[in-house]
A = this chain, B = another copy of it.
Amino acid sequence: MSPRTFIYHPGDAVAMSLVIKNGLVATQDPKRDVLRADVLIEDGRIAAIGKSIKGAKTLDASGCAVIPGLVNCHGHAAMALMKGVADDLNLEQFLGRTFAVDARRTRQDVRAGAMLGCLEMLLSGTTTFMDMYYHEDAVAEAVEATGIRGHLGWAVLDDDKTTQKGSPLKNADRFISRFKSSPLVRPLVAPQGVYACSEETLLGARSLAEEHGAGLHMHLQETRYEVHEHEKKTGKRPIAWLEGIGFLNDRLSAAHCVWLTINEIRILKKNGVGVAHCPVSNAKLASGGIAPVPEMRREGVPVGLGTDGSASNNCLDMFQEMKFCALAHKAHRWDATVMNAQEILDMATIDAARAIGAERAIGSIERGKRADLAIVDITAPNMAPTHSGNLVSNLAYSCIGANVRDVIVDGKVVVRGRALKAFDEAKIMKEAERQARKLLAL
């Protein structure tokens, strides 16, 4: 894969240095070192990892693990309001039920849902998420208000298929222009999928992304139905068709990719496409089969984990996604050795950063990277005993989001002692309840 080129704009970072002391550090560096070490943060970046570092301010991480902030590669944060609206339904009925709610959403309830989703993610150790929705500017405001990092995709559909006001591509253009200099937001273009986007729309999205130096995000080959309908219509399966029209490139992160052949995996690799694997959502919607992640990894396609939205998950905890990912693949292959704990942690950190094109900036604790970190209480009963020998296992298989004590994004302490610092949580919760009542007519 060619190196991704996205950069983050520096925030109004803490000039003062911060040292995280005495933690057990899962670096996720190329050697996957686990170190008893201090981590020095300066100007929003990781400046050093080592013993007995001094800094102006310290944060004690005794009894804690220090891990790269988790990277959620696919979701719809604003759907946090929609827990339980469409459970235990096959995909067709699920889409009917969720689209009916989607169609009556307002900018206000999208913002309230996004605030709730950002809160859920931050409290469970996620520091970056990839998103796709409309009113994505409201999601961007939630990102800036809560202090999480968001790769935010404005949903693009053909003009005659959308409920958006105006042309989705023009809306996306305006959205990207507005947020392209934000330190926490990477705005991007998100064509919903081949079933909702013509060749013209897709190539328009691609041009728009190139023009802005932005990313692309789309749903791809999630279900057999999608694959077969597209083949009926065009004579080609989606990936071959997308390659044929010149759409595929290394700006693209594709979500799901459940129904892939080995040749399609090689096309993704050749074109530098990253993949967001969403095992919980795929299982809950019974997409059938399990995405061929071991084969994608073998062929060098970067694969990260994503929770998908709260209507099909119904939670945004990446620790749960990690564990379910391991279990789903082991069960599916009748092989307990596939998807081991280290690979699972990789898919929520460094490989996830690769999958969304941000591996130069985030995904591991290495000198020079942005300081996006989660501090995890390893003295909690469900994490005991934790030592350097089983830390990775405990993170993949025993940890829950609620074990996260502190979260740092871009050098700033955003969560401290399991509470959001920058924003009043009670306000978020009150507004979420209020908007949910209106949206769901409770």
Q: A: which residues have CB within 8 A of B?
A: 80-81, 83-85, 87-91, 94, 116, 119-120, 123-124, 280, 282-286, 288-290, 310, 313-317, 320, 323-324, 326-328, 330-337, 339-341, 379, 381-382, 384-387, 389-390, 393-394, 397-398, 400-403, 425, 428-429, 432-433, 436-437, 440, 442
Contact = CB atoms under 8 A, between A and B. Distances in A.
13 contacts: A83-B386, A84-B390, A284-B327, A289-B334, A313-B397, A314-B398, A315-B397, A320-B323, A327-B328, A381-B428, A384-B432, A387-B442, A400-B402
A330 B116 CA distance: 28
3 tightest Cβ-Cβ pairs between the two chains A and B: A84-B390, A402-B402, A84-B393
A85 to B, nearest CB: 8
Residue among A119, A317, A382, A384 with max Cβ neighbours from chain B (10 Å) = A382
A336 B382 contact: no
B87 A397 contact: yes
A286 B330 contact: yes
Nearest to A123: B381
A377 B295 CA distance: 41
A392 to B, nearest CB: 8
A364 B303 CA distance: 43
Contacts of A288: 334
B335 A398 contact: no
A382 B320 CA distance: 12
Contacts of A390: 83-85
A313 B397 CA distance: 7
Nearest to A280: B327
A63 to B, nearest CB: 10
B283 A433 contact: no
A314 B393 contact: yes
A331 B384 contact: no
Contacts of A283: 327-328, 330-331
Contacts of A116: 381, 384
Contact of A336 (B89, B316, B403): B89
Contact of A442 (B316, B323, B385, B394): B385
A169 to B, nearest CB: 33
Contacts of A385: 81, 83, 432-433, 436-437, 440, 442
Contact of A315 (B317, B334, B382): B382
